[in-house]
Amino acid sequence: MFELFKNLGKWLTSGAQWAGSDGIAHRLTEHLQYSLIATLVAAAIGLPLGLLIGHTGRGAFLAINLASFGRALPTVGLVVLVFLASGLSMWPVYIALVALAVPSIVTNTYAGMTAVDPDIKDAARGQGMRGHQVLFQVELPLALPLIMTGLRLALIQVVATATIAAYVSFGGLGRYVFDGLAQRDLVQVLGGAVLVAVVAIVLDLGLATLQRFLFRHRTA
C-alpha cells in the first residue's frame, strides 16, 4: 500500500505527466469544461423552473416528480442510449450530466421559495409591490441560501459523474480511471480518482466562499 501511494506521488508530480494532450493539465481542462457547461445549462433550466413553481405554487407536483425521475435515471445507461442514437458526439455526456444536475437545482430552489414566510410576501404586496417585484426583491434574496446549496450539490455531482465521458471514448479525468482499469494500472486509476476528488472539493469550497461573501455583502 505504501508503495502504491509512493508511486502515486511520483505520478502526480511528474512533469511529463502534466504535458501533452494526455497530460493532467489538458484532461483537467476537459473535465472542467464538461462540468461547468453542464451545470450552467442545468441552472438555466432548473432555476427558472424552481422559481416559477415556488412563486406561483403551480405545477409543483409535476416538476418535483420529474426532478425525482431525473435522479433515478441510470447515468451511464442514458449516456450509452443517447450515444447510440446520436452517433459519436459529446451530446450524450452533456445530456446525462444536465439530467443529473437539474433535480438538485429545481428541488432546492423550490424549497427555498416555499420556505419564505407568507407574512413577508403579504407585507411586500401591501406596500404596493407587484408579482415580479416580490419575486426578485423579496423571495429570491431570502431563498438564496438554499438555491446556492442546490447549485453546489449539482456541481459536485456533475464533477464526480463527468468521468463517464471517458466511457464513450472522450476525455476528462475519467480517462485515467478507464484507461487505468483497462491496463490494470492501479496508480493511474487512483490518480484519476484523487484528481476528481480534489477538483470537487476545490469547486465546492469556492462556491461556499462565494456564498459567504454574498450574504456578508447583503447584510452589511
The pLDDT value given to residue 94: 87
Alpha carbon distance 186, 17 (integer Å): 16
Decide if 96 contacts 164 (C-beta within 8 A). Answer: yes
Residue owning grid cell 437545482 = 105
Decide if 112 contacts 146 (C-beta within 8 A). Answer: yes
Contacts 24+ apart (CB under 8 A), 24-29: 24/195, 26/171, 27/171, 27/172, 27/173, 27/175, 27/176, 27/195, 28/173, 28/195, 28/199
* CATH architecture group of domain 2-219: Orthogonal Bundle (1.10)
What ranges do the domains of the chain cover?
A: 2-219
Decide if 162 contacts 27 (C-beta within 8 A). Answer: no
Alpha carbon distance 92, 38 (integer Å): 11
Per-residue pLDDT reduced to its tens digit, 72-117: 666 666 666 666 666 666 777 888 889 889 988 998 999 899 888 8
The pLDDT value given to residue 165: 82
Decide if 39 contacts 154 (C-beta within 8 A). Answer: yes
Q: Is the pLDDT confidence value at 125 over 70?
A: yes
